[in-house]
A and B are shown apart, each in its own frame.
Chain A
Amino acid sequence: AQKITQTQPGMFVQEKEAVTLDCTYDTSDQSYGLFWYKQPSSGEMIFLIYQGSYDEQNATEGRYSLNFQKARKSANLVISASQLGDSAMYFCAMRKLGGATNKLIFGTGTLLAVQP
């Protein structure tokens, strides 16, 4: 069975600083994908970044980067130069690749508060 663990219920960061949100996972699948989503108070889940289990390079998307350490089964999200608009819940999620479903397994989320 797949499992995602996010151990930080909440975090504070100063505006313009970098912050790392932790995510560890457990799976017996060889091929899987890891996703990060942002959920503002409005409720919409916004896709941020993706890392495939066979990708050799860490994924980056603008100010977001994913620190992927396969042996340690971790996929931490790094947000550089934090902005006030980054305040939101952040969810790490996983999906088996090559199967017949898009089902995502989510972690419990981390609430990030960016302070001016």
Chain B
Amino acid sequence: KAGVTQTPRYLIKTRGQQVTLSCSPISGHRSVSWYQQTPGQGLQFLFEYFSETQRNKGNFPGRFSGRQFSNSRSEMNVSTLELGDSALYLCASSLSSVKSSYNSPLHFGNGTRLTVT
């Protein structure tokens, strides 16, 4: 069974540009979450989608947005890039249903490493 696939693996962008990252979850997984990882802030939750609906959002500015398609694939977009957006962006998928009342670990992809110059 294929794991979570994130594309691209590496990106270099200039301040002010925008970027779109893609995530394909494990087959059958309907929940997709995004995390930002930086040396200074660690792992921070960005947002979570389930059945094309955003059901939770972290404390990030509106420049960060995402969406989920009917096949559960997800994209996140960052507009007007800033130097501080340089990070590893991790996507994770899960089997969980609407109510996470049982053990359903997140399965992560390899991440997209974004560098903003």
Contact = CB atoms under 8 A, between A and B. Distances in A.
A64 to B, nearest CB: 13
Q: Which bracket fits the contact residues of B?
A: 20 to 34
Interface stretch (B11-19, B61-69, B95-103): B95-103
B106 A100 contact: no
Given A43-B113, A109-B42, A101 B100 contact: yes
Contacts, number: 71
A50 B103 contact: yes
Interface residues of A, number: 28
A35 B100 CA distance: 14
Interface in A69-116: 91, 95-109
Interface in B84-111: 88, 90, 92, 94, 96, 98-111
B103 A45 contact: no
Contacts of B56: 100-103
Interface of B is mostly: strand
B19 to A, nearest CB: 17
Interface of A: 31, 33, 35, 37, 42-47, 50, 52, 91, 95-109
22 contacts: A35-B105, A43-B111, A43-B113, A45-B92, A45-B106, A47-B105, A50-B105, A91-B43, A97-B100, A98-B99, A98-B100, A99-B100, A101-B55, A101-B56, A102-B31, A102-B96, A104-B45, A105-B45, A106-B42, A107-B42, A108-B42, A109-B42
